[in-house]
C-alpha cells in the first residue's frame, strides 16, 4: 500500500480488511503521546461492520479530547511481540443507557 492514502476511500485498507488479516491497530495521540493497541477484529465488531478506513481515527483521544492529533497504524503481530506480553485493549460489553431531561408539566 502506498504511503499516502488514496482519495478514493474504497482503494484504501478498511478496518474490516485488517480484521480479516488478523492485524493489530495502534492508535496514537501525537498531542499527549498516549498509545493504545487494539485487535482490528474487535474494532470491526464495535463499528458493527460499517465501512471505516483504517488510517482515519475512529474516536478522539480520551486524555486530551481531540481527534486532530490522532494517528492510526496497522501491523501484523510478531510471535515474539505477543510472547513478550503485549497489552491489547479489548471490549468488555456494550452499555445502553437512558438519557433524561426535565420538562414542565
**Residue pLDDT, tens place only, 68-98:** 999 999 999 999 988 898 999 999 998 888 8
CA dihedral 101, 47, 38, 60 (to 10 degrees): -50
Res. 5 pLDDT band, cuts 50 70 90:
confident
**Span 8-63, pLDDT tens digits:** 767 788 999 999 999 999 999 999 999 999 999 999 999 987 899 999 999 999 89
Amino acid at each position: 500500500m502506498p504511503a499516502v492514502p488514496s482519495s478514493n476511500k474504497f482503494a484504501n485498507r478498511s478496518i474490516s480488511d485488517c480484521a480479516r488479516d488478523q492485524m493489530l491497530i495502534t492508535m496514537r495521540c501525537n498531542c499527549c503521546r498516549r498509545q493504545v493497541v487494539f485487535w482490528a477484529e474487535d474494532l470491526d465488531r464495535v463499528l458493527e461492520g460499517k465501512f471505516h478506513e483504517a488510517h482515519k481515527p475512529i474516536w478522539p483521544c480520551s486524555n486530551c479530547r481531540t481527534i486532530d492529533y490522532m494517528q492510526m497504524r496497522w501491523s501484523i503481530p510478531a510471535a515474539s511481540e505477543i510472547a513478550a506480553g503485549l497489552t491489547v485493549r479489548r471490549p468488555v460489553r456494550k452499555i445502553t443507557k437512558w438519557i433524561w431531561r426535565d420538562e414542565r408539566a
